[in-house]
Structure 1
Amino acid sequence: MLVKTIEKALNKQIEVENASSQFYLAMASWAETEGINGVANFLYRHSDEERMHMLKLVRYVNERGGRAEIAAIEKPPKKFESVQFVFKSLFEHEVKVSKEINELVDLCLREKDYTTHNFMQWYVSEQIEEEALARNILDKLNLIGNDKGGLYLFDRDLDTLTGKV
């Protein structure tokens, strides 16, 4: 059985994951309309992955006797200034999500909810991978700079990238 403080924190994380999915979906839509299809496909996949993170939390809360809540979220932006801006925003967002997850893990320890603490370790590991990949993509974009040929190749390569963000 979940204690109320943990249930509330997990519901907040459900909202964070839902907002992440929508944020990346908005980025994907923008990229697609800009003709950057590799970036768009990568971001569509990432949006789906964030939704799965949310669903995993929803199921956990419900299985543990709590009640998962799906809150309304803020509308994400529909325009972005550049591919570099998109991935800088993505990286910063992933760092913010990592902070939220770490705070939730800390709460689990303070509440002595070792079951939820154990469950959340998957998210901790996932965030390490997501931040590393986002940082790697940013590094590549910094190497490319304003080279349109480099951006073309980056876009094509990103479409085939199978790693997680």
Structure 2
Amino acid sequence: SMTSYFKSIKLDGFANWMYVQAQEELTHAMKFYDFINQRGGKVILTQIEAPPTLWNSSVEVFEDTLKHEQKVTVLINNLVETALAEQDHATNIFLQWFVTEQIEEEENVGSVLEKLKLLKDTGGGMFLIDRELAKRAGVLAGTNSENPI
């Protein structure tokens, strides 16, 4: 929904950044899916709540994004604690990649957020950030290759 929001206000670079982010998150979800199945578990997908679709500013979008990444970090850390308590070393090792990834995720979102806060949604600076974010390419979900999106 963040991609759509940015498209609707003609910030295509921001939309690209969010689209790549969404594809990356899908790839992360599939890592969990594959790991659970590999370990003999059964993945059960349930309905999720619809995401917000309106924000007052690009700063607000990235604040929401950072809050979400921080929530994911807490959830992953909780999974690590459970794996350690259960002495499930394979799961602990699997989760370490996500622990490291969350550091990068929070840093990337935080970096964009700090730039936006400095600019306060002003025209020229927004144009430059939009152009910068348009360059982001990512890994297509379900693959291991980097492709521009």
TM-score relative to the length of structure 1: 0.81
Q: Which runs of 5+ in 1 are unaligned?
A: 1-25
> What's the % identity of the aligned pairs?
39
Matches of 1:88 and 1:144, distance apart in 2: 15
Quick check: which one's helix share is greater? Answer: 1
Instruction: Indicate whether 1:128 and 2:98 are aligned.
Output: no
Instruction: Indicate whether 1:73 and 2:48 are aligned.
Output: yes
Q: Which runs of 5+ in 2 are unaligned?
A: 140-149
Q: Which residue of 2 aligns with 1:106?
A: 81
Q: Which residue of 2 aligns with 1:60?
A: 35
More RCO (CA 8 Å, sep 6+): 2
SS at match of 1:39: helix
Deviation at 1:118, TM superposition (A): 0.3
1:5-154 alignment, distance < 5 Å: 26-154=1-129
Matches of 1:159 and 1:56, distance apart in 2: 26
- Deviation sequence 1:12-45 (CA, Å, 0-9, x none): xxxxxxxxxxxxxx10111111111000011001
SS at match of 1:81: coil
Matches of 2:138 and 2:56, distance apart in 1: 25
